[in-house]
Amino acid sequence: MNITRENVDALNAVVKVDIAKEDYSDKVEKILTDYRKTANIPGFRKGHVPMGMVKKQYGKAVLVDEVNKLLQDALNKYLTEEKLDVLGQPLPKPQDDIDWDAEKFSFEFELGLAPEFEVELKGKKAITQYNIVADDKMIDEQVERIQKQYGKLVSQETVEKDSEITGTFTNEEKEIDNKVTLTLDKFEGKATEKQFIGAKVGDVITLKTKGLYSDEHELMHALKLSHDDVHGLDIEVNFTINEINKRELADLDQELFDKLFGEGTVKSVTELKDKIKEDAEKQFVQQADQKLLNDVTEYLVENTKFDLPAEFLTKWMQTAGEKEMNAEEAKEEYEKSEKSLRYQLIEGKLIEANDIKITMDDIKDHARNMIKAQMAQFGQMNPSDKELDDIAARVLSNQDEARRISEQIISQRLLEVYKEKANLKTKELSYENFVKEVYGDK
């Protein structure tokens, strides 16, 4: 067997594999001999079928199968030994005229080669690293939410500005009949609020759906309709009032503190606010980190310049998926996935340059910590090591889940690299201002 490579350019190559009779003949002969021992052919006793007949019936199929196996093994070994960094998979050049009666065969494969490039983390323009803080306004609002959540409902005769109103939305034509509890602050306009003020149980209020809520999701919940159904909906609905209540705020006392955080953990309103601030800012770190990860990724993709073997990858995509694509579909798919492919190559460079390695112990530890955090949300604060290990083993038996956890760890490790080596500038702001700046004032 002989394997040669011709580099077309820096990103494309053709590998030629020449297979001679001595490479496959012994294997083919052995398989046909085994076939002869077990073949059932009318007119011959088992094991006594003439070899010529076995070769005539099975010879070509066995030859084709063995040559293909030999070809794939040789090609994979060659790519490994030559340390070729290929993109996609080798593409066989079409050969419609293979003479399987010949003794020698030649096959050619197109290769797409990974480009050579350098990754520069420290760019001229600094990337913003957000430090999100819980300000007094947010903490006070959270305290009030807690008081409302654990407070008690007091029945009212008429609707006031801060009432909780339970009632039913109806519209015969659209078959709307949905019972909800609402508060007036959720409505978009003051005019709607005025319609409710002073109303009593049993009153029916007619409302227009257009402009009723600023967020369509609120309207979806109120009317129990799908997103498509509420989009642009402009009808009248009736709201029949069933109950009117006012929520009396819970006292900020030790009983409430113990209910929220466990006995003796928080002992004053000041400690309550400190705890709320601490817990909120832990959550904010995750959001800030995700924003930083997204921004650095975007920066790297936009500023790390290299060419890709686009023609090869487009051709490869035609047959790489579960469903075969035509040339136009493959071109469209390549254009959609090019950015992702570029980042995969950049990420690979960064992982290698920073010696990032993920062990099975890392994956198990991450899974255990993830499970422990989830269990804590449901009040299971001290699970045993055996419980964690058993659940982690079940989680990691799913290959997709194990791969997802591995990707999470790599992202965390890369984030540490970015924080250490990228050109960053820190910006401190409240969560409200963070949302406005990053996502727009919605």
Give the pLDDT confidence of 208-230 residue by residue, as tens digits: 999 999 888 899 999 999 988 99
Residue ranges of domains in the chain: 2-113, 152-248, 270-439
CA distance 25 to 248: 90
pLDDT on residue 422: 95
The token duo for 53 is 């007949």
CA distance 93 to 91: 6
| DSSP code at position 187 | B
Cβ-count burial of 105 within 10 angstroms (0-12 exposed, 13-18 middle, 19+ buried)?
A: buried
Are residues 111 and 86 in contact, defined by beta-carbon separation less than 8 angstroms? yes
pLDDT at 234 over 50: yes
Q: pLDDT tier at 51 (50, 70, 90 boundaries)?
A: confident
pLDDT digit string (tens) for 334-379? 999 999 999 999 999 999 999 999 999 999 999 999 999 888 877 7
pLDDT at 261 over 90: no
Q: Which residues contact 228 (CB under 8 A, 6 or more apart)?
A: none
CA distance 230 to 174: 11
pLDDT on residue 441: 56
Are residues 241 and 167 in contact, defined by beta-carbon separation less than 8 angstroms? yes
pLDDT at 200 over 70: yes
pLDDT at 300 over 60: yes
Whole-angstrom distance between the N-terminal and C-terminal Cα of the chain? 67
CA distance 204 to 357: 65
pLDDT on residue 442: 47
pLDDT on residue 374: 87
According to CATH, what is the number of the domain 152-248? 3.10.50.30
pLDDT on residue 163: 94
Q: Residue 163's CB: how many other CB atoms inside 10 A?
A: 21
pLDDT at 136 over 80: yes
* Fold adopted by 2-113: Alpha-Beta Plaits (3.30.70)
What proportions of the chain, in percent to the nearest 5, are helix, strand and coil?
Answer: 50, 20, 30
pLDDT at 315 over 50: yes
- H runs (alpha helix) in 358-441: 360-377, 385-396, 399-421, 431-439
The share of the chain scoring above pLDDT 90, in percent, equals 79
pLDDT on residue 206: 96
pLDDT on residue 38: 79
User: Helix or strand or coil: residue 440?
Assistant: coil
Residue 166 pairs in a beta bridge with 181, 243
| DSSP code at position 225 | -
Radius of gyration of the chain (CA): 34
pLDDT at 30 over 70: yes
Question: How many C-alpha atoms does 394 have within 13 Å on its Cβ side?
Answer: 6
Average pLDDT for residues 115-136, to the nearest whole number?
Answer: 94
Are residues 434 and 380 in contact, defined by beta-carbon separation less than 8 angstroms? no
The token duo for 106 is 């030649």
Beta strand 127-133 with 424-430: parallel, antiparallel or unpaired?
A: parallel
Are residues 108 and 8 in contact, defined by beta-carbon separation less than 8 angstroms? no
CA distance 349 to 342: 11
Q: pLDDT tier at 297 (50, 70, 90 boundaries)?
A: very high
Average pLDDT, the chain: 92
pLDDT on residue 382: 81
pLDDT digit string (tens) for 406-420? 999 999 999 999 999
pLDDT on residue 440: 76
According to CATH, what is the number of the domain 270-439? 1.10.3120
Q: Residue 339's CB: how many other CB atoms inside 10 A?
A: 13
Burial 17-30 (b: 16+ CB within 10 A, else e): bebeeebbeebbee
pLDDT digit string (tens) for 145-174? 999 889 999 999 999 999 999 999 999 999
